[in-house]
Amino acid sequence: MNERLDVFAEGAGQSHNHSKWTTELKSSENIYENEEEIHTLEPNRTGPALSGAGDGKKGSRRAAAAFLGLLFVLLLTGLITLAFLNNKGHSEWKKEMVLSQTRSNNLSKELFQLQKRFEDMTKERNDLQRKLQDHHVQLGWVFYSGSLYYISSLKKSWQQSRDDCLQRGADLVIINSKEEQEFARRFRKLVWIGLTDNKTEGTWKWVDGTPLTTSYWAQNEPNGVQHRDEDCAEIKIYDLENSWNDESCSLQRFWMCEKKKTW
Ligand code: MAN
Ligand code: CA
């Protein structure tokens, strides 16, 4: 090979002796030998354009492998991303759980304190109610079915009696049940009740303005005896259920007050 290179070098230098041409010829033969070698090598390095059916298959395999490789990389990236996001979501969920637990604990504490406060206030309210009741009993009030009743020990006119009741935060008794009528008779006293027809003769009304519906007039009452102007009602014949009488309002009678229990 070195020899052949020398020949070409001398040729370039315009040398024309025989021995040198011989050498050149030999070298040319060598060149063809090399060419043969090249030809025998050529099919191995030529591309698909010159290759046969076997080469096509190899190419397809390579492309499939590349595609699978790419797919694998993509899947791996996806998995890593999912794992990252899942981990992130999990830690956020954990934080939220801790916050919720704290909030729940605080609310439980608050609820417990409110329950305790409610119990304390209920007890306090009951104590005050008991005191208020005792106070009323001491002043002569009687408790019955959600109301307080006061029966006077003095006698006054119907209007003076009513004024006394109003001063006590009450009014003359309004009887609106059979039971209440029985209760009122139990004291066995002639008492003024909160019933009058002083606005319109013959139209009986309770002191709160409600009309009389169920009445317990004694026999032949109300008779409004002539010239006496009997515009006020009293419990008179207390031994009987039908015990009421209409009487002159200026007469002195005991009286009965009532006030609703508001606690
Ligand atoms: C009798 C009856 C009553 C009347 C009084 C008046 O008892 O007539 O109706 O109200 O007298 O004193
Ligand atoms: Ca009468």
Strand partners, 148: 143, 259
**Predicted local distance difference test score (pLDDT) of residue 221:** 98
What is the rounded end-to-end Cα distance, in angstroms, of the chain? 129
Confidence check: pLDDT of 107 > 80: yes
pLDDT digits (tens, 9 = 90+) for 175-195: 999 999 999 999 999 999 999
Q: Which atom of ligand 1 is nearest to the CA of 230?
A: 10
Spatial CA neighbour of 257 closest among 154, 150, 140: 150
Distance 158 CA to ligand 2 centre (A): 14
Question: Range(s) for CATH 3.10.100.10 in the chain?
Answer: 142-260
Mean per-residue pLDDT of the chain = 85
Distance 228 CA to ligand 2 centre (A): 9
The answer to whether 199 and 212 have CB atoms below 8 angstroms apart is no
Q: What is the dihedral of CA 104, 110, 113, 119, to 10 degrees?
A: -90
Residue 234 Cβ inside 6 Å of ligand 1? The answer reads no
Q: Which residues are near ligand 2, the ion (C-beta closer than 5 Å)?
A: 223, 230, 245-246
Other C-beta atoms closer than 10 Å to the C-beta of 12 total: 8
**Predicted local distance difference test score (pLDDT) of residue 56:** 79
**Coil, strand or helix at 15:** coil
Alpha-carbon distance of 199 to 231, in angstroms, equals: 9
Residue where the block lists tokens 């040398």:
15
What is this structure's pTM? 0.67
Residue where the block lists tokens 């492998």:
65
Reported confidence tier of residue 57, pLDDT bands at 50, 70, 90: confident
Identity of the amino acid at 140: G
Q: Mean pLDDT, to the nearest integer, of 14-21?
A: 42
Strand partners, 205: 196, 211
Closest residue by Cα to atom 6, ligand 1, is 247
Confidence check: pLDDT of 22 > 70: no
Angle at 122 between CA 120 and CA 128, to 5 degrees: 105
To test the pocket of ligand 1, the residue of 247, 251, 252 to mutate (highest count of ligand atoms within 8 Å of its CB) is 247
Residue where the block lists tokens 């009951």:
126
**Predicted local distance difference test score (pLDDT) of residue 217:** 98
Q: Which ligand is nearest to the CA of 224?
A: 2
The answer to whether 194 and 171 have CB atoms below 8 angstroms apart is yes
Confidence check: pLDDT of 132 > 80: yes
Characterize the bridge pairing of strands 191-196 and 205-206.
antiparallel
**Predicted local distance difference test score (pLDDT) of residue 52:** 53
Q: Specify the long-range contacts of residues 126-132, CB closer than 8 Å, at least 24 apart.
A: 129/263, 132/263
**Predicted local distance difference test score (pLDDT) of residue 252:** 98
Closest residue by Cα to atom 12, ligand 1, is 247
The hierarchical CATH code for the domain 142-260 is: 3.10.100.10
Q: Specify the long-range contacts of residues 38-42, CB closer than 8 Å, at least 24 apart.
A: none
Residue 250 Cβ inside 6 Å of ligand 1? The answer reads no
Stretch among 75-84, 157-166, 234-243 having the lowest mean pLDDT: 75-84
pLDDT digits (tens, 9 = 90+) for 36-56: 444 444 444 444 444 455 677
CA distances from 195 to 55, 99, 138, 173, 253 (A): 125, 68, 28, 8, 14
**Cis status of the peptide bond prior to 222, with omega within 30 of 0:** yes
